[in-house]
Amino acid sequence: MGGAKVTKGRWRAKEPSKVHCTERYEVAYVIGFIEATISGILMGGLYGFIAVSLSLIFGVAKIVNFAHGALFMVAMFLVYWILVLLKVDPYLSSLIAAGFLFFFGYFFQRLFIEPILRREKETAPLTVILLTSGLMMIIENVALLLFGADYRTVKTGYTGKVWEIAGLFIAQPRMIGFVLSLVLILLLELYLRKTNLGRAIRATSQDREAARLMGIDDYRVYKITFGVGGTMLGFAAAFLVPFYFVHPAVGELFVLKSFVIVVLGGLGSITGAFLAGIIVGIIESLGAQFINSALVESLIFIIFIGCLVVKPTGLLGKQRE
């Protein structure tokens, strides 16, 4: 009881000084939190965008692709070298990266994963996990051999440029990346809903066996899905390069987060993954304003587990029989 009294006394003693400076601080705090939210949304949008491509692969083809980060790194290096050697702007070369990554993804699936799928005849063979982790190591080490362990950054006209809006600083490349991601996500969603191939992808995602019985060539759908996933990854890489660094291990920073986001958003749901990305971004940014950043990572996982307990299919995932 004595202890409680002391705490109460201290609290009272603090009161007057608090009242004195509340007003001035309140404004600064509110601005700080708005700033943190905006930055969380911008970065979260990119997380979401990276996760969308994983969602296609992981959600549709049920392939646990640990090489996702390595593919992302390949795309970043591609954009980097195009910029350094040919002086092509990253937003323009994103088209090249996306095209290249489509074929990379397509043949990645064709050469490495399809043989296993054909042999094992299971929906989610465990061997694939080992295979993709192995491929990740090979790709990363080849990159290390070719490019060394240097951190590389690029200089573009908008690197380090900010828009100042009512006392808030918004980095230009982050904003541009976010807006373009949003547009591409909408296009992808349209593609999946309105085209035959898109419908085939969604059908295979829902039930591979049934889709095959309906005459869908599921292996072809997998290859194309992997390719489209690669395309999205190529765009994401190009949007990140202007304000990030390129390094053979850069993919590792994003890959675990992407898996969390995909599951949180609901397997195979594009919009879900994007939203979940933004949510993770906001938790990360806003959470760090209240607690130590070292703890924020666990906060993300606590919320993640909490969400799964309440809704095991993820935010926008559909219940399956």
Partner 1 sequence: MKTIGIILLTFFCVFYYGLGLTYAQQEVKVGVLIPLSGGLAVIGENLQMAHDFAVKEINEAGGIKSLNGAKIKLIYADTRGDSKIGMSEAERLILREGVVAIMGAFQSSVSYTSTEVSEKYQVPYLVPNSLMDAITERGLKYTFRVERKGSLWAKDQIDFIADMGKATGKSARTIGVVYESTDMGQAIAKGIRKWAPEKGLTIGLDEGYPPKTSDMTPVVLKMKRANLDVVILNSYTSDAILLIRTIADQRVNPIAFLGSSSGYSDPSFIKEVGKLAEYFFDLTEWTTDLKHSPLVQQKNAAYKKWNKDNRDFNGGAAFCYASTYILYEALEKAASYDPKKIRDAFATIKITKGPAMMIPWTPIEFDAEGQAKGARMLVVQYRDGQRRSVWPAEIASNKPVWPVPKWEERK
The residues of the shown chain that bind partner 1, judged by CB under 8 A, are 28-29, 32, 35-36, 39-40, 43, 47, 149-153, 155, 160, 162, 169, 171, 243-245, 247, 252-254, 257, 281, 284-289, 292-294, 296-297
**For partner 1, which is the closer residue by CB, 171 or 224?**
171
**Min. distance of Cβ 160 from partner 1 in angstroms?**
6
291-321 burial, b for 16+ CB within 10 Å, e for fewer?
eeeeebeebbeebbeebeeeeeebbbbeeee
Give 234 or 248: the residue with its C-beta nearer to partner 1: 248
Name the minimum Å distance from CB 66 to partner 1: 16
| Minimum separation from the CB atom of position 46 to partner 1 (A) | 9
CB of 305 to partner 1, least distance (A): 18
Q: Which residues contact 254 (CB under 8 A, 6 or more apart)?
A: 47, 50, 69, 72
For residues 269 and 61, is the Cβ–Cβ distance under 8 A? no
Quick one: which of 69, 59, 56, 143 has its CA closest to 106?
56
CB of 314 to partner 1, least distance (A): 21
**Percent helix, strand, coil in the chain (nearest 5)?**
80, 5, 20
Q: Residue 47 in 3-state DSSP?
A: helix
- Least distance in angstroms from the C-beta of 237 to partner 1: 14
Cβ proximity of 301 and 259 under 8 Å: no
Give whichever of 175 and 197 is closer to partner 1, judged by the CB atom: 175
- Token readout for 123 is 């929906």
Residue whose CB is less far from partner 1, 135 or 296: 296
Spatial distance between the Cα atoms of 201 and 217, rounded to a whole number of angstroms: 10
Give the closest residue to 52 by CA, choosing from 75, 30, 68, 41.
Answer: 68
Which C-beta is closer to partner 1: that of 63 or that of 296?
Answer: 296
Nearer to partner 1, 38 or 216 (CB): 38
